[in-house]
Structure 1
Amino acid sequence: MSLTRRPVVGGLVVPWITARTPDGRYRFGHVDHRRQVRALQNRLCQTCGNPLDSARMVFAMRDSDLRTFISHEPAMHPVCATYSANGCPMLTGRMSHYRTTLPAAQLTELGVTSHGDPTGARPAAPAERWNLLWATGYRPFTNPLTGQPAAMVLPDQILRVRPINTRPATPDSNGDLP
């Protein structure tokens, strides 16, 4: 679990699951589908790409993810999660909204497959509050609502949950707050 071998762009470590364009540029915020599936199935850290410790792993989850305990993003080592929570503009709350263009459309033009927003609901939407969820494991599965690979954390696998930014909670589709 070392970030020293990961590439750095603009002062930030490039997460292992980050998509790349055919000309080699990294696309922060876009997920390489093959690596996402590999990380979920083989219990690899999404940030460094190394095997996770089954006794303690951390998921970055939006408030809406916590309602179902389902994450489309793979888990991380605690050290990698701490780095991500302090470095990623979305996780830290420095970005108030998601990008305005559909990532899939942008990447398709570049010949890259990405499934970072499986429902296509995020462009220009207000960013949600993020949390770190510590767990002792998860079950990889295909989410029937999105058709995308995901991790389901069972209640007895949860060690703790901690909000990582101060963004106010956003209402769900029914207008209810979490």
Structure 2
Amino acid sequence: MPGLGERPGQKGDELTRPNPTDRGKLGTKYHLLVTADGLPLTVAITGANRHDSMLVEPILDGLAPVKGRGRGRPRRRPVKLHADKAYDNKRVRRYLRKRGIIARIARIGVDSSERLGRHRWVVERTIAWLLAFRRLATRYDRSADTITAVATLAITVICARRLPRRNY
């Protein structure tokens, strides 16, 4: 349409890239860091062709302090990190060891994915909650700023829905 600043051949942005598993169609991938009960802490958005392990460091470094129930300083890092086989490489394991985080990552060719499924379903459920927001499931917005803002707003709504209800 005239006036929008983009021509039909200019679809997508830096967060929309060809999906290697879907005949090269453009797509977006959402990377989430969640608590043990599925509460989303942070989200990162990349093109579909970006490898999962590349986002471990930015997500963990961008984690805000979480105030616990006990005394002392707020935690800046998780105790353990459960991840699937896509995160099994030396760089990720070295980074987690340096930060003092216990890595629970299935090893490629050695471990079965079934044992990891006990913890992985929590992340998959949270991704399903995120994609229940139609603007994220079908990407209508073309700019990276807009889609990042919508994803952050969606995570805020998910967290607000999980708060206990009080009757006054």
Shorter-normalised TM range: under 0.3
Structure with the greater alpha carbon radius of gyration: 2
Q: Choose between structure 1 and 2: higher strand proportion.
A: 1
Q: Name whichever structure is richer in helix by fraction.
A: 2
Whose RCO is larger (CA < 8 A, sep 6+)?
A: 1
